[in-house]
Amino acid sequence: MLNARNALADPMPIAPANELRWTVEEASKLLTMPFNDLLFRAHAVHREHFNPNQIQLSTLLNIKSGGCPEDCAYCPQSARYDTGVEASPLMSVEQVTAAALKAKAAGASRFCMGAAWRAPKDKEVAQVAELVTAIKGLGMETCVTLGMLKPTQAETLKSAGLDYYNHNLDTSPEHYGDVITTRTYQDRLNTLSAVRDAGINVCCGGIVGLGEDVADRAGLLCQLANLPVPPESVPINQLVRVEGTPLANEKPVDCFDVVRTIAAARIMMPASYVRLSAGRRELGEAGQALAYFAGANSVFYGEQLLTTPNPGQNEDLDLFARLGIDTMAASG
């Protein structure tokens, strides 16, 4: 039995094993209902589960840039596309610690380190584990995104103190093959279960603007919401169109469709942090304010994402002040 729910009244129960919490049809209905009805409903769910005036800030650092063998059609770091992004070696503990200290001083509570790998070698996981331990020592939460992970590698990272692992499903299973051919959807699900089994929080979301339709967006959200345990953190990225990638000339997404995706994610995963991720510059201040109303309660904070620009810290702090939004502090 599939259970549609009244999001205004009914907090999300944990579904029994093998029971889907959401169908693609239900998710499509959310994504296409009148905008004001959707936002009203999403905001009500948001208030039931979170302080609506508080936001979590994560700062990203690209600890190993470019030269990636994968063919993700959106990605400036794939070695297959001529995007001007240079391949660089893994950063040192000193370089990473200096960046994390800056991020903490600027108000970030979590430090997220990204590496342009298909899948790290054990030796590389050991090096990243040292980075994780160093950043934990600064009193910040840690997150890494390193590509596909084996269970033993996830355990190594957990022992080093890793709080979150980011690994996105990106789009629906149906649209996936049009975007990436060098790893499968199942590969991604396997990494997510290795991370979950190691006791690390899961950060998993996707991208809008990959040429998908509403059913694909609904399909992605259902995959996320129907995981055995929904991700603690759900990044919703708008495609950053980078010259040289196959998706450089993809049609831009309507800003209201970004907000709709955030709202549906909030309703379908009421207890998760929903992160308004790449694409905030394109959304503008009013679009971002709508997304926060719709239930986004986390952002990437800092003037650069991995290789592309993000709003400046002062711009963000100014907008939060104008909206009466407080930021979550680092723990130590």
222 is catalytic: no
Give 299's contacts (C-beta < 8 A, 6+ positions apart). 55, 56, 57, 58, 275, 276, 277, 280, 316
Choose the one of ligand SF4, ligand SAM, ligand DTB, none that binds residue 239, judging by a C-beta under 5 to 8 angstroms depending on kind.
Answer: ligand SAM
From residue 122 to residue 161, the character string flagging contacts with ligand SF4 as x (rule: CB under 6 A) and all else as - is -------------------------x--------------
> For residues 10 and 303, which CB has a smaller minimum distance to ligand SAM in the complex?
303
237 sits near ligand SAM (criterion: CB under 6 A): yes
Distance of CA 329 to CAs 65, 73, 301, 307, Å?
29, 36, 13, 26
For 252, the token pair is 């831009």
| 75 interacts with ligand SF4 by CB under 6 A | yes
Contacting ligand SAM within 65-124 (CB under 6 A) = 68, 74-75, 77, 114, 116-117
Residue 12 partner contact from ligand SAM, ligand SF4, ligand DTB, none using kind-dependent CB cut-offs of 5 to 8 Å: none
- The structure tokens listed for 321 are 């002040």
List 28, 78, 83, 313, residue binding ligand SF4 (CB under 6 A): 78
Q: Does 114 contact ligand DTB by CB under 6 A?
A: yes
Binding partner selected for residue 103 from ligand SF4, ligand SAM, ligand DTB, none, CB under the kind-specific 5 to 8 Å limit: none
Q: Verify whether residue 143 is a known catalytic residue.
A: yes
Stretch near ligand SAM under the rule CB under 6 A, chosen from 24-32, 42-50, 91-99, 237-245: 237-245
Angle between helices 122-136 and 93-105 (to 10 degrees): 40
- Residue 135 Cα to chain centre, angstroms: 20
Q: Which of 41, 217, 260, 275 is catalytic?
A: 275
Distance separating the N- and C-terminal Cα atoms of the chain: 46
Q: What is the CA radius of gyration of the chain?
A: 19
Rounded distance, CA 250 to CA 239, Å? Answer: 9
Q: Which of these ranges, 40-48, 177-185, 235-243, 254-262, lies near ligand DTB under the rule CB under 6 A? A: 235-243
What count of Cα atoms within 13 Å lies in the side-chain half-sphere of residue 35? 10
Q: Which of 77, 83, 261, 298 binds ligand SF4 (CB under 6 A)?
A: 77
Q: How far is CA 331 from CA 101, 110, 131, 313, in A?
A: 13, 9, 18, 20
Is 275 designated active site?
Answer: yes
Question: Does 58 engage in binding with ligand SAM (CB under 6 A)?
Answer: no
Q: How far is 268 from 265, CA to CA, in rounded Å?
A: 5
203 is catalytic: yes
Residue 316: both structure tokens together: 């963000």
Catalytic residue among 21, 41, 110, 143: 143
- 255 among known catalytic residues: no
75 part of the active site: yes
**Residue owning tokens 């149906």:** 174
Q: Tell me if 36 sits within 8 A of 265, measured CB to CB.
A: no
DSSP 162-204: --EEE---BS-HHHHTTT--SS-HHHHHHHHHHHHHTTPEEE-
Strand partners, 207: 237
Min. distance of Cβ 136 from ligand SAM in angstroms? 20
Is 204 tagged catalytic?
A: no
Q: Determine the distance from the C-alpha atom of residue 246 to the mean position of all C-alpha atoms in its chain, rounded to a whole number.
A: 22
- Which stretches of the chain bind ligand DTB, using CB under 6 A? 60, 76, 114, 145, 166, 168, 205, 235, 237, 240, 277-278, 305-308
Which sequence positions are flagged as catalytic? Answer: 68, 72, 75, 112, 143, 203, 275
- Which stretches of the chain bind ligand SAM, using CB under 6 A? 68, 74-75, 77, 114, 116-117, 145, 147, 167-168, 170, 207, 237, 239-240, 242, 278, 306
